[in-house]
Amino acid sequence: KYQKYKFKSSFKKSSFNLKIDLDLDEYIFIELLNYEKKEDKIANISTEFNLVNEKIKINKINYSEGKNLISLNEIDINKKNNFKSFKNIKVKTFKNDKENNNFEVLFDKKIVIKGKNYDSTNLIKNINNKVSSNLFKEINKEIRISFENIFTKLSIPLNNFNLIGKIEKGKFVKISSKSEFSENQYLDISLKKDPNSNKKILEIYSDIPKPLLADFNFFKGIEGGQLLFTSVFNNKSSSSNLQIKNFKVLNAPAFAKLLALADLTAPAVHLSGEGLSFESLEVKFTDNDKIRKIKEIYAVGPSITILMDGYIENESGLTSLRGTMVPAKEINKLISKIPILGDILIGKETGEGVFGVSFKMKGLPGKIKTT
């Protein structure tokens, strides 16, 4: 389905210049911006670039479709197709007729990203995608980011987002960031180098965990609480710890299966009603190129305690978890107070009990079987 187009080229022995102006009706989705162009909409792209001694200098790339505008200016790309520099990038897009992106990126002594809105719906998914190439490895700069509003996957907006950091070889080596969900509810992010190794230390604190967990099915149904995530990592592996305090679980399929399996009527009623309460959840895991090893998942609540371990394969998504549920923590606590007998039956560790249910969860995404 060719639309209107115009090409103009000129060339010498060592240089080549090309100007392009074309309309297109193909479907377009830019995941990092959550921007989508339907197939029946006409968009326009105009660009001018020079190829000199195998180096590319893009004078401009302008994309427009209705009210949506994306422009990139004066981009230098070296022989290995790595970005060296650019003047600026401007983005203004709409989702369902509401503005979801409106910001500018400036490249000078520092990289400055500032604007009114940014749609981060697919940001965490993109961060978790392991990409072997780094097109920005020529970039070594300090960076400042400020947005009035950041839209998240669950329509819980972040306000007054501010970040200062440093990029070396195209990757963050230092971050200090603060923003707020609402009054007295904050999101803090920090990244720094470990002085004793070549690893980095990432810390995230959030008064509302749900937006950060939206891309992970395991945490589906979590409401409320406070989140603290720490990770020590390098290019090959990482060791991480996730803690969530004082939260509830509502209508979570995995939890519902376990409770039904154990015939735990009271906790199941809470799960489908006001929510199953937990005092704390801690997840310890390690990552490498092939596998995420779950060293421990430990959840403690008034009605139930759960302990799990296992693994998730990166390529296939195959999940294998096994664990034990100890229901009726309060009953076990009463038994523990019986002199001598209580120590023998229960022990002194939080979450231990007289009886429990062992289980296994294994399968590919969407096909996990619980026994």
**In what helix (H) or strand (E) does residue 169 lie, and over which residues does it extend?**
none
Q: What is the pLDDT of residue 347?
A: 58
Q: What is the pLDDT of residue 366?
A: 79
Structural tokens at position 238: 């990482």
86-107: pLDDT as tens digits? 899 999 999 999 999 999 999 9
Region 41-59: what's the mean pLDDT? 90
Among the ranges given (178-182, 269-273, 284-288), the one the predictor scored with the smallest mean pLDDT: 269-273
* Ordered DSSP codes for 223-290: ES-EEEEEEEE-SS-EEEEEEEEEEEE-S-HHHHHHHHHTT-HHHHHHHHTT-EEEEEEEEEEEE-SS
Would the pLDDT of 130 be above 60? no
Provide the pairing of β-strand 68-77 with 83-85: antiparallel
Q: Check: CB of residue 7 under 8 Å from CB of residue 20.
A: yes
Instruction: Assign 254 to helix, strand or coil.
Output: helix
Task: Tell me the one-letter amino acid at 23.
Answer: D
Kindly tell me the sign of the dihedral angle through the C-alpha atoms of 141, 146, 151, 156. Answer: positive
Residue identified by tokens 């290019």 is 235
Distance CA 176, CA 174 (A): 7
Q: What is the pLDDT of residue 242?
A: 93
Backbone phi, psi, residue 257, to 5°: -60, -45
Q: Check: CB of residue 349 under 8 Å from CB of residue 326.
A: no
Q: Which of 303, 299, 293 is nearest to 332 (CA)?
A: 303
Q: What is the pLDDT of residue 42?
A: 94
190-214: pLDDT as tens digits? 999 888 888 899 999 999 988 888 7
